[in-house]
Structure 1
């Protein structure tokens, strides 16, 4: 489908902006971004002492108000669904049985899950900080369709909180302060952190700390540090420490009551910002660290079963007709969840996989191939699908799912990147809305369940992948239109 066939949503402000005014406001916007922490460390020229602004869209991108509100209102129900899925051992086993044979990473996670089940789960409470991602689909009057739901390291809650104030400043500078009423408030940072603190309070261990599990090298540093600083400023009695999986292996042990001890410190809540991709595990030590944490009394965000519930294979299984009844007993809720699902197909031989392959080969441009991977940059699109399927054995295919492609409307705007051409050109853009949710509970009961904020990631319409950390998208905020 060419860009000429795609509808373009009305812009927040008239474009283009006069070059002189444009260059002046971009200079201010870049400084605002760096001085307020909408920034990252450079991947190409890493320096722990330097930050550069994160790529951003100069003015907020349009998003259908009705669909934004639908996504916000649905999040508490999605939290409930994912909580039920994560605690359904039989469903996870059945759904992932073929995947774990061919995907060694998911297999290793599953091994930890089985070990903790055998030994007895030491901490019945889980904390989940989720992010459900959506694209509007212009083929269905811009109705939102879920791209995926993230159950581990759901990022950009920190930086996204600053995008609306940044866009408010830019719009005022451009003489469009009247547009601010259509920028929804965003409290993602406080919402995510307050949930961590609720989990910490549950443990009733006043001297315990919150542990952030981090990569060996953190590029997206501001997003993580904002959480840490917010907790320390708002709850001065709670300390946050950051450790890599390797450091946890070297320093960690279980106390006499199953407490997670790191040197002299006890961690009663663990927040994973790493551990979601194979590259974070250099060998058996890092896997031992993950098992050690899972065996501990600390509340995990996410616990191993929640991590598994976020796999693409589980997402595909949930879209099967009638399956939601297993987890949700309210018809209205089932209907509202079903509405956001797009076509998801198994490639397992015994699960009508051959039919799905025929669909993909007949119209590859209508589909995306997705593996069991987080972190962006792993999907296969359109005309590349036939060759990718050809290379896979029947077994390997079961580690992938086929998803109907969503066709979002376009918006126009300026993408501002470090080192980018000045003045920038107006480009065609596509926006993905992420809604954050927080939930705490056991298998038997949910004790905390909230929608806590949003983010908007925007990419060039010509780019398939849109990860900001991966360098292909830009931070944004929604301008709601009717």
Structure 2
């Protein structure tokens, strides 16, 4: 009976990709050993609700439906039916529509394809290719894990190529020395990512750039949105205190810039449909570019090494570091002092210094000088002149680029004074204090309330629709009836939510029973306003092998987080630069709740677009 169900699913699959009845009969007979009349075939399809009234173009227009309907069934039945063999590892898998030498997999690459030249049919063909790509990589991973010698050879090859390309970082044991480095944690193969989700995230980024900038210019909105939060969270209160001081003195600099990253996951809903959901937006020290820019070279090579030549072409090169750096250069140029420098404000433990060097190198190519200083250096050696120009060691600073300062433990009393000094100065800040506050979790939650986006995008319904489509469920914990309802549902079903404090950097969120413990402690007082509640994402999962120093090699169920990078520069009322500058992919085991590269949870990845 199982066998009958399997071939009936093959009938459905071949019909959905557009094969004619006679072609379905032919493939079922020659490739699967099932022989049936055309009349019987039509009876099966009619029983399943299929008729040839659907056109190819109709089948091609709903990406999500195709993803759920075609690929998952095909992948599932393929594993049962095909009996994947060891020789798959040595097979070259190019996909041009002609017959291949793939033997056991011949039927995959020699299906009669009735795709014509129309746009819709081309989209369907591309979609079909993507499903096969995903199946091929999954099969290879399954076979590699059974062949330790082959696996170790590939892993060593990947690591050595990473070293050759400079995809390295300092170690936790020696964070302030470049004498000892290790490879940047990454996946052995790129992970499949739905093309529709990635394109959606990229398409909305310039709108998020604009939104962050508009929020930073609205003191009434910031004050109202953060009013309860600054009463409950000391760190946010101190940031807001600097903001109020700057506001009272009057902003000295009309040049504003942002280098931001918006993070997403693909949520698998209960009904099986996938949807893009924003996790957070980072407005200070957004990372992910730099040494990781060369990782596509590694992943293309790994795919080629196992014979997936055509699949390797799906891995895209990016110029994200150059594009992000261009915004810093534009701000420096607008400042108008050739001898002024860009100051990188860095931490004491500089494990990410080699990534910073990539950015610095791009700036030096433009003859823009860079210096690196810590809060302590600014506190001891920084000063403002009568025009509020910022000087460090006697050198004028055009741009302050914060690579640090986003966590409470980043600050001492002297550090807070240094932050205020820089914020009061004429130097362009990346980000300035108002843009920093615009990236808080509380602002993210407030933006999801009905009617709020309309304040920033009046008469732009399409922009609001694009932004709002990415929002997860976000709920206030402010004192009052609405916050009480949020507490009640979180305590009733903690597994459905994530509790988020006003923190960046990974490792700060609460899940499951930890939510209960936190809320039980603060539910009756204003301290709960330091948090927001968010629907927990149920991410689509894949399989991959995570490569990290001292991590055992094993096939791991993983989920991915898409990060989209954006850059903008505004001069007065004119937005002189507003761009999406690239994307990153970070991947972790589904056993881990929170994330973080430095924290040892997440690794870098590349999207294998499907």
Distance 1:99 1:43 in 2: 34
Of 461, 470, 484 in structure 2, the residue corresponding to residue 340 of structure 1 is: 470
Distance 1:388 1:99 in 2: 16
Alpha-carbon spacing, 1:46–1:298, altered in 2? closer, same or farther (3 Å)? closer
Of 454, 473, 477 in structure 1, the residue corresponding to residue 606 of structure 2 is: 477
Larger Rg: 2
Normalising by structure 1, report the TM-score: 0.94
| Aligned partners of 2:255 and 2:334 also within 8 Å | no
| Aligned partners of 1:431 and 1:459 also within 8 Å | yes
How big is the shift at 1:11? 5.3
How big is the shift at 1:103? 1.0
Of 64, 67, 77 in structure 1, the residue corresponding to residue 197 of structure 2 is: 67
Tell me the equivalent position of 2:314.
Answer: 182
Distance 1:136 1:241 in 2: 39
Distance 1:51 1:34 in 2: 9
Q: Which shifted more, 178-187 or 409-418?
A: 178-187
Q: Which shifted more, 253-262 or 54-63?
A: 253-262
Distance 1:290 1:322 in 2: 34
How big is the shift at 1:269? 0.8
Of 488, 513, 533 in structure 2, the residue corresponding to residue 402 of structure 1 is: 533
Normalized per residue, the structure richer in helix is 2
Q: Deviations over 1:128-184 (max 9, x none)?
A: 001000000111622110000000000111133222122112222222221122223
Alignment of 1:22-421 (within 5 A): 22-44=151-173, 46=175, 48=177, 49-139=179-269, 141-232=273-364, 234-235=365-366, 237-281=367-411, 283-329=412-458, 330-350=460-480, 352-392=482-522, 393-421=524-552
Distance 1:37 1:328 in 2: 43
Q: Deviations over 1:386-426 (max 9, x none)?
A: 111011252111010000011111010101111222xx111
Distance 2:164 2:511 in 1: 38
Alpha-carbon spacing, 1:344–1:353, altered in 2? closer, same or farther (3 Å)? same
Distance 2:457 2:555 in 1: 45
| Aligned partners of 1:253 and 1:261 also within 8 Å | yes
Q: Deviations over 1:186-223 (max 9, x none)?
A: 22111111110011111111111111010011112222
Alpha-carbon spacing, 1:165–1:260, altered in 2? closer, same or farther (3 Å)? same
Q: Deviations over 1:276-324 (max 9, x none)?
A: 111111x221111101111111111000000000000000000001110
Q: How many residues align?
A: 470
| Aligned partners of 1:12 and 1:61 also within 8 Å | no
Of 141, 149, 156 in structure 2, the residue corresponding to residue 15 of structure 1 is: 141
Q: Which shifted more, 353-362 or 253-262?
A: 253-262
Please state whether the residue corresponding to 1:182 is helix, strand or coil: coil
Please state whether the residue corresponding to 1:162 is helix, strand or coil: helix
Distance 1:185 1:324 in 2: 34
Please state whether the residue corresponding to 2:469 is helix, strand or coil: helix
Please state whether the residue corresponding to 2:204 is helix, strand or coil: helix
Alpha-carbon spacing, 1:443–1:103, altered in 2? closer, same or farther (3 Å)? farther
Q: Deviations over 1:313-350 (max 9, x none)?
A: 00000000111000112000101111100100010013
List runs of 5+ in structure 1 lacking aligned partners: 1-6
| Aligned partners of 1:11 and 1:411 also within 8 Å | no
- Bigger relative contact order, structure 1 or 2, given CA contacts below 8 A and separation 6+? 1
| Aligned partners of 1:131 and 1:436 also within 8 Å | yes
Distance 2:429 2:462 in 1: 31
Alpha-carbon spacing, 1:97–1:351, altered in 2? closer, same or farther (3 Å)? farther
Please state whether the residue corresponding to 1:452 is helix, strand or coil: strand
Alpha-carbon spacing, 1:353–1:403, altered in 2? closer, same or farther (3 Å)? same
| Aligned partners of 1:37 and 1:222 also within 8 Å | no
Please state whether the residue corresponding to 1:157 is helix, strand or coil: coil
